Amino acid sequence: MADGERGAVSRATEWRRINELFHAALERPRTERDAFLEGACADRPALRREIEALILAYETDPDFLEHGVDLVRLLVPEGQPRDHTHAAAHDDTRPLAAGSRLGRYVIEQELGRGGMGVVYLARDGQLNRSVAIKLLPAAVADDQVRRARLRREAQAAAALSHPGIATVHALEEADGVLFIVSEYVRGQTLRDELEASGPVRGDELLETALDIARALAAAHRQGVIHRDLKPENVVRTEHGIKIVDFGLAQLTTDPRAELPARLTRSGMVVGTPAYMSPEQLRGEEADQRCDQFGFGLLVYELAAGRHPFGGTDVATTWARILRDEATPLVSDDAVVVQLQPLIARCLAKDPAERFHTTDDLVSAIVAAGRLSAVALAKVDRHSPAEAARPTNPALVTSSSVAGPPQPAPRMWWEVHQIVVSLVYGLMLWPMWMVRPHVASGTGRTLLLVALVAVVAVAASLRLNLAFTSRCYPAALRLQRRRVSGLVRLADWAFGVLLLVGAAIVGNADVELTALLVGVAIGASVAFLFIEPATAHAALDGLQDRTAE
């Protein structure tokens, strides 16, 4: 027997053990359960935690087993075989080598693997464009009912047209393989950003939340639900936010399937357990409000840097989603404070207590953003009617209307970029005046070429950042991360070149020397002290200007 088969058999045995101990514990009085589990799981603390999490979920909702929750999925980490059937479903898709063809598509590289299949970056030979190809398990291709449902939902997802949603191009079949072709989105996922930079604050948090909500609202108006909204499925591109895998979360789920360990009666949960709504975990019918719950989880994690229901394992997290209320966000960031009420509403256990429509959620975010001059002035490019839609007065505090808006910190940061670029450009003339004092012709050429190159790089990048901040604010953080090192290097080089010019001129022209030294010192103070402060304010929004 191969190692993979032995592992699958071992895990199947463990499922049966969990099932037996779970029901045996339920049959005992609560006062005896600890002693029973202590004896039954003496050398298996992880096993005991799983069983205790299931018991906790049962006590929260005694009918959860009747609703068809896939406990196996909750208890087995992603990527590990769950039984012979599940392992085969993933193993039937052999890896495709770079350069191989699938219909008209040329495979370039594997992008990732998940519960729904393998994703590849490929080249469309006919249209000469990069696409993402998701190969679906053979269990879907061989089931006519699921294929028909897959085609219907893929067609619905393909009909979506919104800048915040990755486009689904086609559902195709080649060489006996069923696959979905969609837009290849370049950028960083919000998960990558959280791991690299920590929580998102201020205006950036507001803009990110608003862009995600608008994309969700556009899809919901077309009757398409995501069902698996999480940081991994939201990508920040150079032009803003894009949600990927839209409307495809449940396409490979067979509603008639039965679990091998008989932990449920029928049905499967759809989505990532840690980011599912209570109704999804219970296997109930989910509508657009399940995406609102996922949105609340996502924005909470962006603001806090942690999952609101995070546990030591998936089963514990699942139990907390069913039972616990999320701890309210406590922050000195005015945007986080204003978003907290609508996050709490999105995380309501009862879907009826969430927003009636996702358009209402968008309106609530706009209302919550009235503290921010950037958010207040931002023109909605996607649905102009939002500006006229009534907002929820309960979310508009006295501080949000107490006087005229103050200049946004990001505006000052943009002004700083423009002013510095102008100063750098203007200093080309004084440095030109250094030429007569350089004895070597080669030295004169090198000095001027170096200065022009440094000014061109620094000014171009700074003006690009100012443009990005003004036109694509959601992409500012990513763009700054890309170019900040080069900008800082150009700043240092600019100051050094000015000092070199001052040293060359010396006493021959005291006024020119003083000008070069003074600007070099001023530039150093600006990029060492002034710019970090304005950049902090631009990225963290209004956290230092809370409501009075």
| CA-to-CA separations, 516 to 183, 495, 501, in angstroms, rounded | 51, 9, 7
Of 61, 83, 203, 228, which residue is the catalytic one?
228
92 and 120 in contact (C-beta within 8 Å)? no
Distance CA 242, CA 229 (A): 12
Identify residue 11 by its one-letter amino acid code: R
| CA-to-CA separations, 107 to 120, 134, 221, 233, 511, in angstroms, rounded | 7, 11, 35, 22, 64
User: Quick one: 94 exposed, middle or buried, by C-beta within 10 A (0-12, 13-18, 19+)?
Assistant: exposed
Within 8 A by CB and 6+ apart from 196, the residues are 188, 481
Please provide residue 106's backbone torsions phi and psi, each rounded to the nearest 5 degrees: -105, 120
H helix or E strand, kind and range, residue 218: helix 202-221
Of 137, 135, 134, the C-alpha closest to 89 is 137
Annotation says 359 is catalytic: no
Span between the terminal Cα atoms of the chain, in Å = 70
Of 137, 212, 126, 213, the C-alpha closest to 170 is 126
Distance CA 284, CA 195 (A): 33
Within 8 A by CB and 6+ apart from 475, the residues are 236, 237, 238, 239, 240, 468
List residues with catalytic annotation. Answer: 228
